[in-house]
Every structure is written in C-alpha cells, then in structure tokens.
Amino acid sequence: MKDGTRVTYDRCLLANAGEPRDFYVLDSNKISYALRDKINTMTTLQDFMELDTVLARDVDRIAVVGGGFLGTEVACALSVAGQSRGIKVSHIFVENGVLHRHLPPYLSAYVTRKMSELGVDMCTNKLVTGLQRNGEKQDDSGRADGAGADAKVSSAQTNAKAAVEGDPDAVSVSLMGWEKEDLLCDYVVLASTHIKPKTEMVTHLSGIEVDANNGGIVVNATMEAIDGLYVAGNLASYYDSTLGRRRVDRYEHAINSGLLAGHNMASSRCGGSQKMYKHSPSLRSSIPGIGVDCRAVGEID
C-alpha cells in the first residue's frame, strides 16, 4: 500500500477493469482541454449518461468514431433519437463496413446498408488522424498552422460544413482515406470497443506470464495464474478447447469466469476439487433502430 503497509492473503483474485484502446494514431488523452465538452470518450458511466443530454443541446451534426458494436449501437441510437430535430449523424470507421471485424462480410454489408437507409452518413475506409477546433488545419508534422486553409470535403459533407463553419467552437475531424478530408461537426463520440488490460501491476512479479499476442495474464483451466493467484474477466488469457488461447472483452464472460474463479479459490482453501472453465462466452448486440438483434457464440467472422 502507499504507506508501506503489506496485506497478505491465502488466495487472491485479479479482476480489475481495463481501459479503452486508443483509436489508431489518435490519442484521446491528448485531446485539447478546450474541446472536452464536445468530445465523449465513452470511458465512464457519466460519459454514457451524457449522451442522453447531447440531443437537447444546440447541435446539428454528431460524429461517432468506431465501427465495432459500441460505435454501431450509439450511432444508430443517436440517429433515431435526433431525427425529429434534423440532427445528422456521421459514423466513421476504417473498415469497409460496420462490424467488419466481427461479422461475415455479407452480414456486415447488410447492417451497413440498413444504417445508411436510416439516414446515417456512413464514412467507410476513413482513418481519424486528429481532432481540432474549426478553422485549424494540422500539417503533416501535427503542428496547427492556424491559417484556416480550406479542407477538401466530400459532397455528402458540404451542407454540414456550411452549417457549422461559422462556429469557431465546432470540431474539425481530420480524416485520411483515398484523400485527406475534414469533417465538421458539433459533437464527437469516440466509441472504442476493444479493452486494453492493465497488466502493469504484475509485470514485476516472478512467475507471472503476460500473453504477448492477446494481452492479459496467462491462466490455466481453473483460472489460476500461479499458486493462489487467480485472474478473471478481460484480464485473463485462458485456453479455449475450441478456439485456442484467447482473451475476451465481454460482460457475460466476466460474470462466468469470476464465479468459477471464486468457487475454485474457496474450494482450494477447504481442500475441495477445482472446476475447469469450459464456458463458451457469448455476445449480444441490440440495434433496434434498424431491426437487428445479434446473438453469437465464439468467432463469427
């Protein structure tokens, strides 16, 4: 502990939460403080609650970054809720279609088409490289030149640009695709689906192995890393008899792995038998705005 006190245990469970992985070259921790009230990083409960208040603000265009389940659900929900006010939602992701890394190509194309029919501006094959105030343009070195140079924008974005170009507090989203573009909007949601496990606490301990490929702490079939130390949730890298060694960022997996680890901790303390983790984690994603309800087990790409 900070005051030097040591606390010992017969058994210990590590199940700490991870943190959202930053988007490509965009480090959400380095975003200008002046834009904090216009950018939602979706990392705390308050961030999710704030989405309920966004539509009541004076906003005309919202950008959602991230083509995973979280980004897709948020983009669709905001589009449905903002239709009565004429709010335009742009969904930005680097893949060919939404959920491209999770679903077979034909299902990804289907969901992408349904969202487009809903009115969402689908910005496919676009890499977000920066966020800055309206009128600022970053050069290749990342330094703002402040010259307010005109940015190339697609025809689908021209009307939105005109609506907010007079607002110095609007957010300019720098995109890299076939060509460099700027998308102007009033609010940005950074919806990262992937969780980066926090393994720093154990890297100095001998006998603890960190999975170099999947991340997380390597455990055996009983969710035990070393004698007396158990790991559960997205922090655990475990062996799946069907899919091999993997790490899962899912609520349902966290519940089931935690229950089994807790049982084994108590059982081993009392001299009982150990249970093996044989559960196949499932996922569910509900996107009612386009009539899609996804329930899946294992790898479904």
**Residue by residue, what is the 3-state secondary structure of the chain?**
CCCCCCCCCCCEEECCCCEECCECCECHHHCCHHHHHHEECCCCHHHHHHHHHHCCCCCCEEEEECCCHHHHHHHHHHHHHHHHHCCEEEEECCCCCCCCCCCCHHHHHHHHHHHHHHCCEEECCCEEEEEEECCCCECCCCCECCCCCCCCCCHHHHHHHHHHCCCCCCEEEEEECCCEEEEEECEEEECCCCEECCCCCCCCCCCCCECCCCCCEECCCCCEEECCEEECHHHEEEEECCCEEECCCCHHHHHHHHHHHHHHHHHHHCCCCCCCCCCCCEEEEEEHHHCEEEEEECCCC
Predicted pLDDT at 145: 43
pLDDT score, position 25:
61
For all residues of the chain together, what is the average pLDDT? 84
Q: For residue 76, what pLDDT is reported?
A: 96
| Confidence band of 142 (pLDDT split at 50, 70, 90) | very low
User: Is the pLDDT score of 75 beyond 70?
Assistant: yes
Instruction: Answer with the residue of higher pLDDT: 29 or 213.
Output: 213
Give the pLDDT confidence score for residue 139 in this predicted structure.
Answer: 41
Predicted pLDDT of residue 52: 85
- pLDDT tier for residue 194 given thresholds of 50, 70 and 90: confident
- pLDDT for position 104: 93
pTM recorded for the entire structure: 0.80
Q: Is the pLDDT of residue 269 over 90?
A: no
Band (pLDDT 50/70/90 cuts) for residue 229 is very high
Nearest CA to 235 out of 17, 19, 43 is that of 17
pLDDT for res 120: 97
The better pLDDT of the pair 159, 45 is held by 45
Contact 272, 101 (CB under 8 A): no
User: What confidence score (pLDDT) does residue 20 get?
Assistant: 77
Mean pLDDT of 20-40: 73
